[in-house]
Structure 1
Amino acid sequence: MKKQLLFFLIALTGLFSTVIAQVGINTSTPHAPLQFKNETVNRKIVLYETVNDDNQYYGFGVNPGVLRYQTDVTATDHAFFAGTGATTSNELMRIKGTGNVGIATSAPLAKLDIIGTTFGIRNSVTSGSWDNLWFNVTPSIPSINASGAESGLQFNVGSNSVGAYGDSQTLTTVATMLATGNMGVGTTTPTNKLDVNGTTRVRTITPVSGATVVTPVYSDANGVLVKASPSATYGGLTSNTSGNILSGATGTVITGMVDGGIYKAVVIVGDACADIGTAEFYVNNISSNSYFSINGLGGLLSSGGTNKSPAFNQVNRNTITVTWTGKVGCAGGDNPTSFNYTLTIPSAGTINVTNNGNITKAYTIVLTRIN
């Protein structure tokens, strides 16, 4: 009897829908071919019921302000397909029960996981629009691309702690990249490859090794970094610290001086008692006619009384001895002779030091080019 009643109701529904083309479920005033009662419930249409409750099913529901698309458990995925023929379909997008979204992948590993070499954003549906932002993800050379960015690609930061995307929160442009290749930090109109409007901090600078020649950098009236001169020679620095040189032995402290260069040289030697002897020299490195030479200018000794200057003995054009008469002894083994040494330019481009003291020493030399 129940089966007969059900068949009758189905037939009646079909007849009714055929006549008026509208069917209402729990409503007597349908305004569409199929309409449900106006109510907000989790279960509105059940396609498959795993458990008889309002959450563990496949189907649709309506909550206040929400169209609810429901699956039964977090292990169940939401997938979208497009048919490719009578027997196959392509998967377009998948939303995992974990919340990960995959486009062109059925196994997304992130909140948004896109498989492909290019994806982008346009500000218009017009196919010819040039105001686009897109990303290329090609092996070894991923890139961010922008067209229609005549005023630059900007990076902005909002100052409000809360707010929705695109609302009225205040945004500050912190960096701008122009099509010219200029990059601005704190300015939207950079005039150089890197234009920083503000202070700059470099936390790590790699030191050069040995006697490498380096050139100092200054800033012009506009704050643009420049070298000391167009030839990039004036102000160039060369520095080195020798290894330990035994008493009476000779070691090389500088090699590779530029031919024709004129330098001011500072030589520093110290002991275990924090005493330091600093002496200054002029050095000419001119290979023509063997015009390489050295001469003492002055110096300063940390210890001693009033006699703090070294005595220079110019042996010849390329050899000079340095004697510190005010040097005091030290518990580390230094006696008053321990800071004495001889500087020699045996050939163009090279400076040697001979330890004339009583104990092994290391020597630091700094050359500043002045021509």
Structure 2
Amino acid sequence: MKKTFITLCLISVSSLAYSQVGINTPNPQGALHVDGAKDNPDTGAPTATQQANDFTVTSTGKVGIGNINPSSNLHIVNNGTATGIGGGEATNTGLLIENPTTNNSILSILRTTGVTGVKQAVMGINPNFNGNNGTFIISRVPGGSDFAMDLTTGNIGVATNIPTNTLDVAGSTRVRTLDVAAGATIITPVYSNTDGVLNKAVNNTYGTVLNNTITNVASGATVDLMTNIPLEGSYKAIVMTGNSCGRRVIAEYYVTNIATNNAFSIKGIDGLLNTDTTSKGPTFTEVNRNTTTVVWNGTVPTCGGSPTPFNYTLTMPVAGTISITNNGTSTLNYTIILTRLI
């Protein structure tokens, strides 16, 4: 009897010293370790496959599901492969939260507010909201809607919980960085209707913009200023050049870029030279249907004091291409911007 008592005491002391409880395993890896499938080894750590059905609570209070070494207060590891059940839900996912009661909230994060201590949701997933569509909401204040997703349509709302478009922003929008389209990239302008919905104007091509810059065009040289202009369209073109002394010229042209029967053409409209005299406009000479020459009549002093004409010739050798010939006396850079009309 005395020996039995001593043995029981030793077992109790040993159990208290380790403070580990194992269920379905003689080899607990934490303060509480449940081996759901009873497949863990008697010694050593279980494999990842063996851990998949384990539940562990560590001595620091961290809980692991499918993981015997949780790194956070709740650490869930899934080692299975998702398979569809019902209407698209999945088994073997990392975390599954289900409310079997129709149209009841699936997840709510509450905050106690006011002197009455009433708890109100500030984040949650609720199918009984927004006309039973269901929504996911994040808010800074109870009843607010800083961010919302309609779970039926997929529409996302910012500062509105009833988004009617893919992205519905009830407030101002700021874009800190916009990339510059390189070369002859087609840019489509965006407009807003009275409801704030963004649209293209008239049709998919009206108002689209192309631009290109050619540098270091020597006197007398001819280069392609713009290529691959979309066919069967009519455009207004602006051509600009200048020098290092702040003198600039800008000229407008109409362009029809129709390949059918070679019906492509270009014609000068007007322009501006920031000269010191009243002779600020250009003189256009329409050589033929697809060639126009521009001469600037005002004095254009350079840094050295002698005049530097900005004269040039625009030619459409084929549909979709505009070439420029530098008729001036200096190497210049040229920029062209085309806006599609029809």
Tell me: CA distance 1:83–1:212, structure 2 relative to 1, closer, same or farther (3 Å): closer
TM-score norm. by structure 1 comes to 0.67
Provide TM-score, normalisation by structure 2. 0.72
- Aligned residue for 2:137? 155
Deviations 1:184-214 (A, max 9, x none): 1111111111111111122233332211222
Kindly provide the CA deviation profile for residues 29-58 of structure 1, in whole angstroms up to 9, marking residues without a partner as x: xxxxxxxxxxxxxxxx987566xxxxxx84
Change in 2 beyond 3 A, CA 1:158/1:185: closer
Q: Which runs of 5+ in 2 are unaligned?
A: 21-28, 43-49, 79-91, 108-123
- Alignment match of 2:149 (pick from 165, 171, 177): 177
Aligned residue for 2:111?
A: none
Question: Taking structure 1 as reference, are residues 85 and 222 closer, same or farther at Cα in structure 2, changes over 3 Å only?
Answer: closer
Q: What is residue 324 of structure 2 aligned with on the other side? A: 353
Secondary structure of residue in 2 paired with 1:308: coil
1:368 aligned to 327, 336, 339, which one? 339
CA distance in 2 between counterparts of 1:320 and 1:253 reads 14
Preserved contact between residue 54 and residue 66 of structure 2 (Cα < 8 Å): yes
One-letter code aligned to 1:81: V
Counterparts of residues 201-220 of structure 1 (less than 5 Å): 201-220=174-193
Q: Partner letter of residue 120 of structure 1?
A: L
Q: Between 202-211 and 82-91, report the one with greater CA deviation.
A: 82-91
CA shift, 1:345, in A, is 0.8
Counterpart CA distance in 2 for 1:198 and 1:87 is 56
**Aligned match of 1:270:** 242
Alignment of structure 1 residues 40-51 onto 2, 5 Å: none
- Correspondence for 2:110: none
For residue 27 of structure 1, what is the aligned residue in structure 2? none
Partner of residue 340, structure 1: 311
1:318 aligns with one of 290, 294, 316: 290
Q: CA deviation at 1:156?
A: 2.3
Number of aligned residue pairs: 286
1:44-81: CA deviations, max 9, x gaps? x987566xxxxxx849xxxxxxxxxxxxxxxx942331
SS at match of 1:289: helix
Distance in structure 2 (CA, Å) of the matches to 1:319 and 1:83:
85
Root-mean-square deviation over aligned CA pairs: 3.4
Amino acid at match of 1:348: A
- Between 1:244-253 and 1:115-124, the stretch displaced more is 115-124
Please state if 1:102 is matched with 2:64. yes
Tell me if 1:299 matches 2:271.
yes
C-alpha deviation, 1:272, in angstroms:
1.0
Give the whole-Å Cα distance in 2 for the aligned partners of 1:351 and 1:257. Answer: 9
Q: Which has the larger radius of gyration?
A: 1
CA drift at 1:266: 0.5
Instruction: State the alpha-carbon separation in 2 of the partners of residues 77 and 87 from structure 1.
Output: 13
Partner Cα separation in structure 2 for residue 155 and residue 246 of structure 1: 62
Q: Can you list the C-alpha shifts for 1:196-242, whole angstroms capped at 9, x where unaligned? A: 11111222333322112222111122221111123x12212111111
- The answer (yes or no) to whether the contact 2:277–2:299 under 8 Å persists in 1 is no
Structure 1: gaps (5+ residues): 11-44, 51-56, 60-75, 134-143, 160-169
Cα contact 2:103–2:126 (8 A) shared by 1: no
Q: Does 1:255 align with 2:227?
A: yes
Match of 2:32 among 75, 79, 83: 79
Using the TM superposition, give the Cα deviation of residue 131 of structure 1 relative to its aligned residue in structure 2, in angstroms.
5.1
Taking a change above 3 Å as real, the CA distance of residues 83 and 234 of structure 1, as seen in their structure-2 partners, is: closer
Structure 2 CA distance for aligned equivalents of residues 82 and 129 of structure 1:
35
What amino acid is aligned across from residue 67 of structure 2 in structure 1? T
Structure 2 residue aligned with 1:309 = 281
Classify the secondary structure of the residue corresponding to 2:144: strand
Contact preservation (8 Å) 1:102, 1:114: yes
- Cα displacement (A) at 1:282: 0.9
Cα deviations by residue, 1:291-324 (Å, 9 ceiling, x for unpaired): 2211111111223221111221222221111122
SS at match of 2:241: strand
Q: What code does the residue aligned with 2:226 have?
A: I
Cα distance between partner residues in 1 of 2:76 and 2:332: 64
Q: Is the 8 A contact 2:125 2:134 kept in 1?
A: no
Query: Which residue identity is paired with 1:184?
Result: G
2:217 corresponding residue in structure 1: 245
